[in-house]
A and B are shown apart, each in its own frame.
Chain A
Amino acid sequence: MALLAETPPESGAPDRTPRRGLSGMRRQEARTGRLLLSPTVLIVVLIVVLPIIWAVSLAFQRARLLNIRRVGLVGNYTLDNFSRVLQSDGFWSTLWTTVVYTVGGTIGSIGLGLVAALALRRPFRGRGAVRAVMLLPYITPVVAATFVWTVALDPQFGIVNAWGTLFLGWNEAIPFLSTPQSHLFGIPVPTALLVVIAFETWRYFPFAFLFLVARMQAIPGDLDEAARVDGASIWQRFTNVVWPQLLPVIALLALLRFIFTFNKFDDVYLLTGGGANTEVISVRVYEFLTARKDVGLAAAQAVVLALVLVGLIVIYLRAQARADRSAGR
């Protein structure tokens, strides 16, 4: 799980034994190693690396689905697609929506995951069952999860609106997933976008929870106990003992969740189809590809997605390095 956390095992100190038999063994070991990895590397290079290079090349060409047979790796390169992407209607608003959605979903899922991990920290009867049940949103297929939400939020027969009008005194049913904006106490709120963020929070808090639980179990118990004996309040114990121990995991989680949410396609596509001001970049790429059948434009938009993502990650890592330095770590 902690893909980023661990450094690959160092190849050990180079062991300079001058015996000939050993170096022969070394060579054989290296050969076996490459042989064992070669199927994987072959698949990854063929199905991931080469296609991505081709995608970048397509972004610089005029490529429609109709003329795709004539488009190769090299052709008449042009920046046309990029200028069209940057000038197209809704590019900036899509980018902004994606950022809001990503930041909201990241903070939401990690926050709720932290709350869950803290609540389940001390053992109680049935904790194992509660823990298992809490993984449900994460393991459930996305299509089923989005459908439950869609049906529950339906203005006609959804349970949320039924209860809202029955118990909460709503005047009329709210079509949550098709309302771009509504007013709550006079403040405009982006309704559909908030619902999509709530979905993201709900679906991925178990992911954060698992990371945090694993880390919490490693916190020495006597540290907490000592703080308690010293008369620290529960809140002080959290901020001074638990929180600093969790901080590195939370930083890692923030990075992972940010990347995954930024790339997300299916959740938004299945919930709103990108309507009601919830269009994120991936959904837009999909529209360019399938509805407009413009491969070049879609590829350019996808490359922009990847570039923005890389840019944001660099900013994040820089900020984290600075924070680490100032914290003296």
Chain B
Amino acid sequence: MTAVESPPAAPATAEPVRRRRVRSTEEKVWGTVRVLTIVFLVLITVVPFWYMIVLSLRPIQQVLLDPGRIWVSFSELTAGSYRAVFRSGDNGGQGFLLFLRNSAIVAVLTTAVTLLAAIPGAYAVSRLRFGGRKLISGLFLVVYLFPPMVLAIPLFVLFTRIGLRGSLPGLALVYVAQTVPVAIFMLRNYFETIPESLEEAGLIDGLTHLGVLRRISLPLAVPSVVATALYVFMIAWNEFLFALLFLLERPDRWTVSLGLSRLSGSIEVPSTVLMAGSVVLTVPIVVLFFVAERRLVEGLTAGGEKG
């Protein structure tokens, strides 16, 4: 949802330079308001993350002495918080390597299964005619908008009963059920932009519908598949409620989100360590997002130049 929507970056200087119109007072005032607004928006989005990084690199004693500082001086720079975060639990650390592994397992599993189900599903919804399609669309919409809390109760009870609580694949299955409908909507929008004549040509050449999907539609839809995968991965990586309900009793299965949230409860864990953990949790998703966003734009523009 996020990635697909963000439009490609605008060319640096699109405004023609030669436009000598006298700017009225009104325009000047609004121009100033605009600049101030942009500065404000950048500040509220960047400063919290800057603050997070700064705290994660300062020793806690210094933070307590001088809490208002928003930079790290060279002399106090320390990686101690990160060491505490990564050291395994047996060595008195927080064992985030294990949590990272768990999160990766759940997120990759969720993404793979979701795409495996959603790609054929989206193709069916966008291209094939069959009864009950409207009903299914309605069902997906309800899944998308339904309060997760209502779903959490029976799943909690059910998983307790059949012993799936504490299982990472079990958790991934719940994520799949919640992300598949959105993934189908995202992919469907893209499949519908592929010229139908291409696919008809494939059918005439003797391909089955599955063959058309595999040989023609899917290769064309790669940018959209990447965007969808990214979105699903992000949801699975960031999710908190179901991880909390299903994994709480099994510290060796905690995801990064859950492990981090459990740290805040104890008094011995200083907030600098909390911030280091937050950086560890956030960095993968931000890196992935920016890398894939550029890829996406590149993929789209490259196709445009060739075609």
- Could you list which residues of chain A lie within 8 angstroms of chain B, going by C-beta atoms? 1, 3-4, 6, 8-9, 11-12, 26, 29-34, 36-37, 39-41, 43-44, 46-49, 51-52, 54-55, 58, 63, 65, 68-69, 115-116, 119-120, 122-145, 147-152, 154, 156-159, 161-163, 166, 202, 206-207, 210-211, 213-214, 217, 233-234, 256, 259, 262-263, 265-266, 270, 281-282, 285-286, 289-290, 295, 298-299, 302-303, 305-306, 309
Name the residue on A nearest B192 (C-beta).
A9
Known: A37-B121, A159-B68, A309-B147. A127 touches B10 (CB 8 A): yes
Chain A contacts of B136 at CB under 8 A? 37, 41
Cβ A149 vs Cβ B64 within 8 A: no
Of the candidates B128, B136, B277, the one having the most CB atoms from chain A within 10 angstroms of its own CB is B128
Chain A contacts of B129 at CB under 8 A? 11-12, 26, 29-30, 33
Cβ B139 vs Cβ A136 within 8 A: no
Cβ B240 vs Cβ A48 within 8 A: no
Cβ B286 vs Cβ A139 within 8 A: yes
Chain A contacts of B48 at CB under 8 A? 137, 145, 148-149, 152
Chain A contacts of B209 at CB under 8 A? 29, 32, 36
Cβ B156 vs Cβ A37 within 8 A: no
Smallest beta-carbon distance A99→chain B, Å: 15
Which of B83-91, B218-226, B256-264, B299-307 participates in binding chain A?
A: B256-264
Cβ B37 vs Cβ A55 within 8 A: no
Cβ A148 vs Cβ B147 within 8 A: no
Name the one of A124, A125, A289 contacting B156, with C-beta atoms under 8 angstroms: A289
Known: A120-B38, A305-B147. A37 touches B125 (CB 8 A): yes
Name the residue on B nearest A162 (C-beta).
B68
Name the residue on B nearest A214 (C-beta).
B5
Known: A166-B68, A285-B153. A147 touches B5 (CB 8 A): no
Q: For the complex, count residues of B whose C-beta is within 8 A of A.
A: 116
Cβ B157 vs Cβ A295 within 8 A: yes
Beyond contacts A40-B117, A63-B157, A157-B64: 10 other A-B pairs, Cβ-Cβ < 8 A, are A6-B189, A34-B130, A37-B120, A46-B177, A52-B146, A68-B157, A127-B10, A136-B46, A210-B5, A295-B153
Chain B contacts of A137 at CB under 8 A? 45, 48
Cβ B141 vs Cβ A4 within 8 A: yes
Residues of A contacting B: mostly: helix
B199 within 8 A of A: no
Name the residue on A nearest B274 (C-beta).
A147
B181 within 8 A of A: yes
Complex: how many Å from CA A57 to CA B9? 51
Complex: how many Å from CA A303 to CA B192? 37
Complex: how many Å from CA A182 to CA B234? 38
Smallest beta-carbon distance B203→chain A, Å: 9
Smallest beta-carbon distance A21→chain B, Å: 13
Complex: how many Å from CA A34 to CA B135? 12
Known: A120-B38, A305-B150. A9 touches B126 (CB 8 A): yes
B27 within 8 A of A: yes
A-B residue pairs in contact (CB < 8 Å), sample of 8: A58-B157, A139-B286, A141-B282, A144-B260, A159-B67, A210-B1, A234-B30, A298-B153
Chain B contacts of A131 at CB under 8 A? 6, 9
Cβ A36 vs Cβ B42 within 8 A: no
Cβ B151 vs Cβ A147 within 8 A: no
Chain B contacts of A9 at CB under 8 A? 126, 192
Cβ A270 vs Cβ B151 within 8 A: no
Complex: how many Å from CA A221 to CA B71? 44
Cβ B139 vs Cβ A128 within 8 A: no
Complex: how many Å from CA A166 to CA B144? 46
Name the residue on A nearest B290 (C-beta).
A132
Complex: how many Å from CA A304 to CA B147? 11
Complex: how many Å from CA A234 to CA B27? 8
B176 within 8 A of A: yes
Known: A154-B271, A214-B7, A266-B241. A123 touches B15 (CB 8 A): yes
Smallest beta-carbon distance B255→chain A, Å: 10
Complex: how many Å from CA A44 to CA B113? 13
Known: A9-B126, A131-B6. A58 touches B154 (CB 8 A): yes
Complex: how many Å from CA A157 to CA B157? 41
Name the residue on A nearest B185 (C-beta).
A3
Cβ A156 vs Cβ B9 within 8 A: no
Chain A contacts of B156 at CB under 8 A? 289
Cβ B234 vs Cβ A115 within 8 A: no
Cβ B117 vs Cβ A43 within 8 A: yes
Contact with A along B232-271 (1 / 0, CB 8 A): 0010011011000100000000001110110010000001
Name the residue on A nearest B140 (C-beta).
A44
Complex: how many Å from CA A297 to CA B137? 32
Complex: how many Å from CA A266 to CA B290? 25
Name the one of B44, B130, B210, B257 contacting A143, with C-beta atoms under 8 angstroms: B257
Complex: how many Å from CA A130 to CA B9? 10
Cβ A265 vs Cβ B149 within 8 A: yes
Known: A11-B133, A119-B38. A40 touches B184 (CB 8 A): yes
Smallest beta-carbon distance A12→chain B, Å: 7
Complex: how many Å from CA A68 to CA B134? 37
Chain A contacts of B153 at CB under 8 A? 55, 58, 285, 289, 295, 298-299, 302
Of the candidates A124, A126, A143, A285, the one having the most CB atoms from chain B within 10 angstroms of its own CB is A143
Name the one of B13, B64, B120, B140 contacting A36, with C-beta atoms under 8 angstroms: B120
Cβ B44 vs Cβ A217 within 8 A: no
Cβ B148 vs Cβ A265 within 8 A: yes
Complex: how many Å from CA A130 to CA B37? 12
